[in-house]
Amino acid sequence: MSIKGFSILPCLLLVCSFCSGKAMPTKLSQEAVNDRPVIGVLTQLVSDDVMKPFGRTYIPSSYVKYIESGGSRVMPIRLTLTTAEYENIFKKINGLFFIGGAANLETSDFARVAQIFYRLALAANDAGDFFPIWGTCMGMQLLTVLVAGENLLTNTTAENVALPLNLTEEALSSRMFQGFPQDLIKALTQEPLTGNFHHYGVTVKNFQENVKLTSFFSILSTNEAENGAHFVSTVEGKKYPFYGVQWHPEVNRFQWDSKLNFPHSLHAVQLSSKLAEFFVNEGRKSLHTFDDPEEEVSSLIYTYMPIYAGNFTSYEQIYFF
Ligand SMILES: *[C@@H]1O[C@H](CO)[C@@H](O)[C@H](O)[C@H]1NC(C)=O
Ligand SMILES: *[C@@H]1O[C@H](CO)[C@@H](O)[C@H](O)[C@H]1NC(C)=O
Ligand SMILES: *[C@@H]1O[C@H](CO)[C@@H](O)[C@H](O)[C@H]1NC(C)=O
């Protein structure tokens, strides 16, 4: 696991009664909700030698369980498809999740595919077609590269350390932490609930000096790296439903390597649950859908088998592709 709303515009559903000829569209007064969301997860490039015998790309099952725990299904997205194929997938999924790992954030296939989806998501949201994106650890680093159009990462090593978050003023009015009970917010700022496993990040200074980042994202939390640098640890899109955490909420419930500082306290578990539920609920606001039920079934993660990986990685189980 090395490392590397629209103030939310309600998505009003316009249905035309019978959709025939001159029928006037009927405006439903409630927000459209999709209770069968599918979140796409880009597979990650294998960089670790011990994993190479099993495949070229992978998804740790901890991320899959995390997303499923929020009430969503997961679709793994390979890095070998054409742009047209990604455009087609985009119309079917209800959100996208960039996981952690170690890949070049500008030249790798992971970065190339992420950029295709990022552009599609920007255009969709601009057109009122709600589509959320989440980035964890390297996934958040990738979001900063996509938004800034350049790589602003520097050494902000916080490797195998659990930290409380230094929440900003904006966190208190954020969407991400909106549904948190007061005691959990308090715990989040006082207890080491966030597992950090990274070498790079965006310092608060680099972030604040980049107008593309400051106009796009609100900083919800910061932390201090081993070298004393203050780095941005949680962000939320000001206009777009895009979210990033430099830490790993999925480990709190789904990773157990005792050599690593995975927070497993009740508050740590609650934090992880709340954020998974939050992001999946963002996915429920997306009305993208598969037209073909058979294609839907065969696209989901369920047809793949994870392998036991607890004896050669810090993950318990991994899907290889
Ligand atoms: C915590 O936040 C305060 C106020 O925003 C800031 O002055 C301080 O540098 C932050 N500390 C870290 C470790 O980021
Ligand atoms: C980053 O900083 C840490 C802590 O100061 C140091 O131990 C590490 O070697 C540095 N890593 C890189 C890649 O420069
Ligand atoms: C890990 O455990 C599995 C299942 O017991 C076993 O098949 C595999 O050879 C082990 N791998 C290593 C690298 O020890």
Report the atom number in ligand 2 closest to the C-alpha of 227. 5
Ligand 1 site residues, Cβ closer than 6 angstroms: 166, 168, 222-224, 230
DSSP secondary-structure letter at 17? Answer: G
**Band of residue 27 on the pLDDT scale cut at 50, 70, 90:** very low
Examine residue 54 and state whether it is found in any structural domain, yes or no: yes
Residues taking part in catalysis: 137, 248
Report the predicted TM-score, pTM, of the whole model to 2 decimal places.
0.90
- Report DSSP letters for 37-58, one per residue: -EEEEE-EE--SGGGGGG-SEE
Examine residue 144 and state whether it is found in any structural domain, yes or no: yes
Report the atom number in ligand 1 closest to the C-alpha of 204. 14
Number of H helices, E strands in the chain: 11, 16
114 neighbors 78 (Cβ within 8 angstroms): no
What is the rounded CA–CA span in Å between residue 259 and residue 160?
9
Which residue from 257, 311, 314 has its CB within 8 A of the most atoms of ligand 3, so it is best to mutate?
A: 311
Report the atom number in ligand 3 closest to the C-alpha of 50. 13
Lowest mean pLDDT among 6-10, 164-168, 172-176: 6-10
pLDDT at position 3: 38
User: Which residues is 244 bridged to in the sheet?
Assistant: 135, 235
Nearest to 26 by CA among 12, 40, 36: 12
Q: Of all protein residues, whose CA lies closest to atom 14 belonging to ligand 3?
A: 311
**Band of residue 103 on the pLDDT scale cut at 50, 70, 90:** confident
- Secondary structure of 144-189 in HEC code, one letter for each residue: HHHHHCCCCCEEEEEEEEEECCEECHHHHCCCCCCCCCHHHHHHHH
DSSP H/E element including 236: strand 230-237
Examine residue 20 and state whether it is found in any structural domain, yes or no: no
Question: If you average pLDDT over every residue of the chain, what do you get?
Answer: 91
The alpha carbon of 104 and the centre of ligand 3 are apart by a number of angstroms equal to 30
What is the rounded CA–CA span in Å between residue 110 and residue 103?
7
**Cα Rg of the chain (Å, integer):** 19
What is the rounded CA–CA span in Å between residue 247 and residue 105?
17
Residue with the two structure tokens 């790589």: 151
Which residue from 4, 153, 155 has its CB within 8 A of the most atoms of ligand 2, so it is best to mutate?
A: 155
- pLDDT digit string, tens, across residues 181-209: 999 999 999 999 999 999 999 999 999 99
Give the number of domains in the chain.
1
- Ligand at shortest distance from the CA of 51: 3
- Ligand at shortest distance from the CA of 311: 3
The alpha carbon of 64 and the centre of ligand 3 are apart by a number of angstroms equal to 22
Pairing of β 57-60 and β 44-45: antiparallel
The alpha carbon of 154 and the centre of ligand 2 are apart by a number of angstroms equal to 10
Examine residue 121 and state whether it is found in any structural domain, yes or no: yes
Residues 6 or more apart in contact with residue 278 via CB below 8 angstroms: 70, 175, 176, 178, 179
- pLDDT digit string, tens, across residues 225-258: 999 999 999 999 999 999 999 999 999 999 999 9
**Band of residue 20 on the pLDDT scale cut at 50, 70, 90:** very low
Residue with the two structure tokens 């079917």: 92
CATH number at residue 212: 3.40.50.880
**CA dist list (Å): 288 to 39, 87, 132, 191:** 11, 12, 12, 39
Where in the sequence is the domain holding 179, given as residue range(s)?
35-320
Q: Of all protein residues, whose CA lies closest to atom 2 belonging to ligand 1?
A: 166
The alpha carbon of 1 and the centre of ligand 2 are apart by a number of angstroms equal to 17
The alpha carbon of 102 and the centre of ligand 3 are apart by a number of angstroms equal to 24
What is the rounded CA–CA span in Å between residue 282 and residue 241?
8
Report the atom number in ligand 1 closest to the C-alpha of 224. 13
Which residue from 224, 230, 233 has its CB within 8 A of the most atoms of ligand 1, so it is best to mutate?
A: 230
Nearest to 175 by CA among 224, 253, 89, 234: 234
- Report the chain's terminal Cα–Cα distance, integer Å: 18
**Band of residue 24 on the pLDDT scale cut at 50, 70, 90:** very low
- pLDDT digit string, tens, across residues 282-300: 999 999 999 999 999 999 9
Q: Of all protein residues, whose CA lies closest to atom 9 belonging to ligand 3?
A: 311
Examine residue 18 and state whether it is found in any structural domain, yes or no: no
- pLDDT digit string, tens, across residues 81-101: 999 999 999 999 999 999 999
- Ligand at shortest distance from the CA of 224: 1
Examine residue 43 and state whether it is found in any structural domain, yes or no: yes
What is the rounded CA–CA span in Å between residue 190 and residue 268?
12
Examine residue 262 and state whether it is found in any structural domain, yes or no: yes
Higher pLDDT, 8 or 165: 165
The alpha carbon of 156 and the centre of ligand 2 are apart by a number of angstroms equal to 8
- Ligand at shortest distance from the CA of 165: 1
What is the rounded CA–CA span in Å between residue 232 and residue 152?
12
Examine residue 1 and state whether it is found in any structural domain, yes or no: no
Q: In what order do the strands lie in the sheet with 317-320?
A: 44-45, 57-60, 317-320, 307-308
114's tokens: 């992420």
Q: What percent of the chain has pLDDT over 70?
A: 90
